[in-house]
Structure 1
Amino acid sequence: MTPSLPVNIVAFILGACIGSFLNVCIYRIPAGLSIVHPGSSCPRCKTMIPFYDNIPILSYLLLMGKCRNCKTPIAIRYPFVEFLGGCFAMACVLSFGATLHALVAFAFIATLITVTFIDLDHRIIPDSISLPGIPIFFLAALLVPTMTWRSSAIGILAGGGSLLAVAWGYQLITGREGMGGGDIKLLAMIGAMVGWQGILFTLFAASAIGTIVGVWAMIQSGKGMRLAIPFGPFLATGATIYLFFGRDLIYWYLHMLR
């Protein structure tokens, strides 16, 4: 049954509010700061942001993208992450209904959004996110109708083990570290949620998308193979695609081979 329009609107609003919190996590976790206290403030003038200037998306538009006090421009990323949160919350409700499945799926995607932007900014994937995420999503996956604890457990081993093998092999051949431990732990966390089939899809999609984006970025930068590109965002993208379309895409691909 397709959720009604009011349910979709509520999902978007709640998702955008979560997106606002994700902005806090993206900024504070790499800096080792508390994500709870103190409240949000302007990074330049340090003025505390009142609640009416902290309404997701809307406040950015009303303030015309500037701090009310010092007029410093506010990065477009903040409303963008809030918009992503709203859109993915609505997409989860549309895909899985107003169910626990949708809640688990959105929590997973919200985690991937946080990881993506931290990795883009700092080239790290914090252990404080991925390591607790492994048992959390192992348990949460039990609320997903298509998942079992065995599939989740195998997904953890396949996710962490596959990238660990690639990292060892690359270092053995080249003598250089080509993949950080953060990617390995992230894929183990992803495996807890999507299982071993999802890991195969995620790796394939991440590699394909990463290759296309990587080649384009190397051409644009002129640095060639010296350009370092974080792999975490591509793993997050592949996992998100699988969450919504993976099983249908796998079925289509296998049917096409017949």
Structure 2
Amino acid sequence: MIELFLDNPAIFGGFLFVLGLLVGSFLNVVIHRIPKMMEHQFRQECQLIDAPIDAITPPSTTYNLVVPRSACPSCGHAIGALENIPVISYLVLRGRCKACETQISPRYPMVELLCATLTTIAGLHFGVTIAAIAAIMLTWALIALVFIDADTYLLPDSITLPLLWLGLLFNLNNLFVPLDQAVIGAIAGYLVLWAVYWLFKLATGKEGMGYGDFKLLAALGAWFGWQALPSIILLSSISGAVIGIALAILAKRGMGKPMPFGPYLGIAGWLTLLIGGSLQQLLFSGVAT
């Protein structure tokens, strides 16, 4: 299989695209369910605090990434295997539920196509190597985090913390950066935004960002080292400001409405994966002169 991919980049690219479509379908489940799973866990923990042990009732149904089966939120129709084929099912069904014909959000095929495209780009960029496997795993995690944070203002520990440890693990053999730079990057990534958070809170009495942002930047520091942090922070801040102002103007949402920072960290992190050196040179080319 490896020889086939090495000799035929087109076949390798096609494999990556199909793999990305399949994983993108699963990421739709992750994006939808993990916040709900967090909410369920929070409610159970609150029940443990507020009620005596003998009064606590176990959850009536199991809810995780596997069960229950995906179903139409309008009519409860269980989605069958043929209705779960990435993109194709959406087109065949004309974007509607098979049972009640309620409109299905176009975001589902969009996430699948985005995952397929970014998986292919990352895989072909690194070739048939361990680095490609690592890059693809990072890509999948960042896609999930970007959409979850955009929807809920949450960056789940169940994704950010394993991502941090994976970065350190892959850099044990200097895959992207030397291990010492990765460790310092993880520490510095967390502390930089932690310091910004507290300075902003002391100055304004408000919270400017969440702890999930600290953990995501720590994870990116573990992957790319402390040298990449300035360009990641600058790029994410610039893109966040530009997009935030555009949304405020176009959607008339107002400048005072909170805006998640995680999506912009995720975008900056993925660009660093592919063009980190060029990105740092572009953003800081005038600093050294």
Q: TM-score, normalised by structure 1?
A: 0.93
- Are the equivalent residues in 2 in contact too, given 1:3–1:94 (CA < 8 A)? no
1:158 CA displacement: 1.2
| Partner amino acid, structure 1, of 2:31 | I
- Are the equivalent residues in 1 in contact too, given 2:123–2:135 (CA < 8 A)? no
Match of 1:239 in 2: 269
Matching residue within 189, 203, 220 for 2:219: 189
- Are the equivalent residues in 2 in contact too, given 1:65–1:73 (CA < 8 A)? yes
- Are the equivalent residues in 2 in contact too, given 1:2–1:94 (CA < 8 A)? no
Alignment of 1:147-158 (within 5 A): 147-158=177-188
Worse-matched range after superposition: 170-179 or 124-133? 124-133
Q: After the TM superposition, which segments of 4 or more aligned residues of structure 1 sit over 6 Å from their partners? A: none
1:93-113 per-residue CA deviation (whole Å, 9 max, x = no partner) reads 221002221111111111111
Alignment of 1:117-136 (within 5 A): 117-136=147-166
Q: Does 1:11 align with 2:41?
A: no
Match of 2:33 in 1: 28
Match of 1:116 in 2: 146
Worse-matched range after superposition: 144-153 or 122-131? 144-153
Distance verdict in 2 for CA 1:84–1:152, change over 3 Å: same
| Partner amino acid, structure 1, of 2:154 | I
Q: Give the root-mean-square deviation of aligned CA atoms.
A: 1.9
| Partner amino acid, structure 2, of 1:21 | F
Distance verdict in 2 for CA 1:12–1:226, change over 3 Å: same
Worse-matched range after superposition: 203-212 or 36-45? 36-45
Distance verdict in 2 for CA 1:63–1:246, change over 3 Å: same
Give 3-state SS (helix, strand or coil) of 2:225's partner: helix
1:253 CA displacement: 5.6
Distance verdict in 2 for CA 1:100–1:68, change over 3 Å: same
Matching residue within 75, 78, 83 for 2:108: 78
Identity among equivalent positions (%) equals 38
Worse-matched range after superposition: 227-236 or 140-149? 140-149
Matching residue within 89, 95, 113 for 2:119: 89
1:138-188 per-residue CA deviation (whole Å, 9 max, x = no partner) reads 213446633221121111111101000100110011111111111111111
| Partner amino acid, structure 2, of 1:236 | G
1:38 CA displacement: 2.4
1:133 CA displacement: 2.3
Matching residue within 224, 229, 232 for 1:199: 229
Match of 2:89 in 1: 59
Give 3-state SS (helix, strand or coil) of 2:255's partner: helix
Alignment of 1:156-235 (within 5 A): 156-222=186-252, 224-235=254-265
Gaps of 5+ in 2: 1-5, 38-62
| Partner amino acid, structure 2, of 1:12 | F
Gaps of 5+ in 1: none
- Are the equivalent residues in 2 in contact too, given 1:101–1:143 (CA < 8 A)? no
1:41 CA displacement: 1.8
- Are the equivalent residues in 1 in contact too, given 2:86–2:109 (CA < 8 A)? yes
| Partner amino acid, structure 1, of 2:140 | A
- Are the equivalent residues in 1 in contact too, given 2:201–2:208 (CA < 8 A)? yes
| Partner amino acid, structure 2, of 1:15 | G
Give 3-state SS (helix, strand or coil) of 2:36's partner: coil
| Partner amino acid, structure 1, of 2:193 | L
1:39 CA displacement: 2.5
- Are the equivalent residues in 1 in contact too, given 2:176–2:224 (CA < 8 A)? no
Worse-matched range after superposition: 216-225 or 197-206? 216-225
Distance verdict in 2 for CA 1:28–1:254, change over 3 Å: closer
Worse-matched range after superposition: 127-136 or 55-64? 127-136
1:136 CA displacement: 2.5
